[in-house]
Amino acid sequence: MTQTEGAVAAAGWDYSPAPERTRPDIESEYGLFIDGEFRKSRSGKVFDTINPATGERLARIAQADEADVDAAMAAARSAGPKWARMKGRERGKYLFRLARRIQECSRELAVLETMDGGKPIKESRDVDLPLVAQHFFYHAGWADKLQWAFAGRPVRPRGVCGQIIPWNFPLLMAAWKLAPALACGNTVVLKPAETTPLTALHLARLMQEIDLPPGVVNIVTGFGETGRLVATHSAVRKVAFTGSTGVGRTLMQETAGREIPLTLELGGKSPNIVFADAAIDQAIEGVVGGIWFNQGHVCCAGSRLFVEESILETFVSALRDRMKQLRVGDPLDKNTDIGAINSEGQLERIRSLVRTGQEEGAILHDVQAEPLPKKGCWFPPCFFTGVQPSHTVAREEIFGPVLSVMSFRTPEEAIRRANATPYGLAAGIWTDKGSKIFEIASRMDAGIVWCNSYNQFDAAAPFGGVKESGFGREGGLHGLRAYVR
C-alpha cells in the first residue's frame, strides 16, 4: 500500500453502494424440463429455492421422482438417434446459436446466478458467464471435427448421459457437462443442485428459443435421491458427476457392474506453495484468489498455503492486510468481493470446522470490518496459522473462505507435505526460478498445476483430479473422451 492510499483509507473513505439493477424475470414456479417443455412433477411435489443473501424464497421448483426421471430418460433416448445422425456441422450450429444467446442474456443470467447462489455479481458477471458462453462456443466447433480428435479412431456417441452438477458454479458446471456431451452427439438428462436450480432452467428456456430438438437436453430438479435415480437409470450410457468425494464414492459403488464410463470431479484440499524467491505481491493476489474466490466454494481452492519459512512472517502480515480490504456483503453490489454462503447447511459446516480448528490449537486470523447483514448466510474470510498437518483444518475440505497457513524449509519438504493428502485436484507454485517450477510441477499429485497463477479456467484446458479428487477430464480435447466410444 502506498502512503497516499493509506491516508485515504485512514480518513475512512469508502466505496459507495453500487447495486446491479438488472433483474431477471423469475417465475414463481418452475417445472421439470422434459422433451422440450416444462412440466409439473408427476407427484406434484415442489421445493423452494432460496436467495442465501436474504433468506427469501425465489421460486418453487418441481421435485422429480422415479416416474419423472423415467420420462426424462425416455425423451433423451428417443431424441438420441436423430441427434447422433445429424451432420456434425449442423449439431455444432445449434451449440453456436446457444452460445450466442447466452452471451446476449449474460447479464440476466449472472444476476440470477448471484441471487440463487450468493456469489458476488463481479464473479458471476466476469468469470462464470463468459466461461459458460466460451464452453458452448468451444465445443460447438468440435462437433464437425470429431473424426480427427482421436488418432486412428473413428468415434461414435455413447447415448444418454446422466449428469449431476453441484451448487458452487451452477450454470458453468451445466455448461461443462452439456457442451461436450452434445457436441459428441449424445443426449442428456441433467440434475442441477437443489439449492441452485434456476440458471439451468433459464438455460432450458434458451434451448427452446434456439429450437434445440426436444429431448436432446432434459433437466430434472430435486435432491440427492433424484441424482441417484439419474445415475443408476438403465437407459444411461455414461455418468458424469461433480460434487463431494462422499457422493462420488457411493456413485462408484452404485454403478458397479454397469460397465459404463463414469467420470468424477470431486473434492480437494489443494496446496498453494510460495517460495521465498517468488514475486511476493503477485503471490499474495494468487493466494487471495485461490482461497477467497467464490467464498471458497471451489473444489480446487488453494486451501492449504505453504510458505517458505524465511518469508513466513512478512507474507502472513501482507496477507492479513490484504484480507482486511476484502468487502463482504450484498452479492449484487458490484464492489463486493465475498458474497453469501450458499446455504444454511454449508454455513453450519464451515462454522463447525472453524470451531474445530480453534479447539485443536490453530490460531484464527479474521476480520470483521463492517457489520454483516442481519439476514442471510455470511462468513467472513479468515485464515489459520500455527496449523499442524494433523489438524482437521489441514486435512478436511472446508468449502468455505478458510485458509490454513503452514511453512516449509526445503523444496523436498514442500513437495512431501503438499502431496500428503488423499486428494489431488490442483496445486499452485510461486517462484521465479524456472527449473524449480518445472521440477515441482511434475512432482505434484494433482490434475491441474497453476504456476505463478491460480484458479485459471478455460474451455480448452482439461480439468480434473487424481487420487480421491476423482477421475476423467472436463474441457479441451481430453474432455471429449468420455463422451465418445
Partner 1 sequence: MSRLEVVKTGKLWIGGKWPRSESGATFPVTNPEGEVVARCASASRKDSRDAVEAARSGLGKWRDSTAMLRGQVMYRAAEMLEGRAAELTEALQFGGAGAAAARQEVDASIDRMVMLAGWCDKIHQVLGCQNSVAGPYHCFTIPQPCGVVVAFSPAEPALLSLVTLVGAAMSIGNSVVAVAPPQAGLAAVLLGEVLAVSDVPAGAVNILTGNQKDLVEPLGGHREVAVVVSGGLSKASRVAVRMAAADGIRRVHAVPWTGSAWEDDEETCSPWFLEQFVEFKTLWHPAAS
State the nearest-atom distance from the C-beta of 82 to partner 1, in Å: 28
Contacts of 460 (CB under 8 A, 6+ apart): 138, 475, 476
Residue 151 is a binding residue for partner 1 (CB under 8 A): yes
Question: Contacts with partner 1 in 412-431 (CB under 8 A)?
Answer: 422
Residue 41 is a binding residue for partner 1 (CB under 8 A): no
Residue 147 is a binding residue for partner 1 (CB under 8 A): no
The catalytic residue positions are 265, 299
Tell me how crowded residue 9 is: count the other CB atoms within 10 A of its CB: 13
How many helices and strands (H and E) does the chain possess?
A: 17, 18
State the nearest-atom distance from the C-beta of 322 to partner 1, in Å: 20
Q: What gap in Å lies between CA 36 and CA 365, rounded to an integer?
A: 51
State the nearest-atom distance from the C-beta of 437 to partner 1, in Å: 7
3-state secondary structure (DSSP) of residue 225: helix
Count of chain residues binding partner 1 (CB under 8 A): 48
State the nearest-atom distance from the C-beta of 99 to partner 1, in Å: 13
- DSSP assignment letter at 384: E
Residue 74 is a binding residue for partner 1 (CB under 8 A): no
Q: Which of 100, 187, 97, 183 is nearest to 140 (CA)?
A: 183
Residue 210 is a binding residue for partner 1 (CB under 8 A): no
Question: Contacts with partner 1 in 241-300 (CB under 8 A)?
Answer: 245, 248-250, 252-253, 256-257, 259, 264, 266
Nearer to partner 1, 30 or 450 (CB): 450
Buried b (16+ CB within 10 A) or exposed e, 447-473: bbbbeeebbebebeebbbbebbbbbbb
Residue with cell 468455505: 400
Residue 227 is a binding residue for partner 1 (CB under 8 A): no
Q: In what order do the strands lie in the sheet with 160-164?
A: 37-39, 32-34, 217-219, 187-191, 160-164, 236-242, 262-265, 470-471
Of the candidate spans 58-66, 340-348, 378-386, 449-457, the one that interacts with partner 1 by CB under 8 A turns out to be 449-457
Residue 158 contacts residue 187 (beta carbons within 8 Å): no
Residue 462 is a binding residue for partner 1 (CB under 8 A): yes
State the nearest-atom distance from the C-beta of 179 to partner 1, in Å: 15
Residue 449 is a binding residue for partner 1 (CB under 8 A): yes
State which of residues 476, 480, 482, 483 lies at the interface with partner 1 (CB under 8 A). Answer: 476
Residues within the interface to partner 1 (CB under 8 A): 134, 150-153, 245, 248-250, 252-253, 256-257, 259, 264, 266, 422, 437, 441-442, 444, 446-453, 456, 458-464, 466-471, 473, 476-478, 481
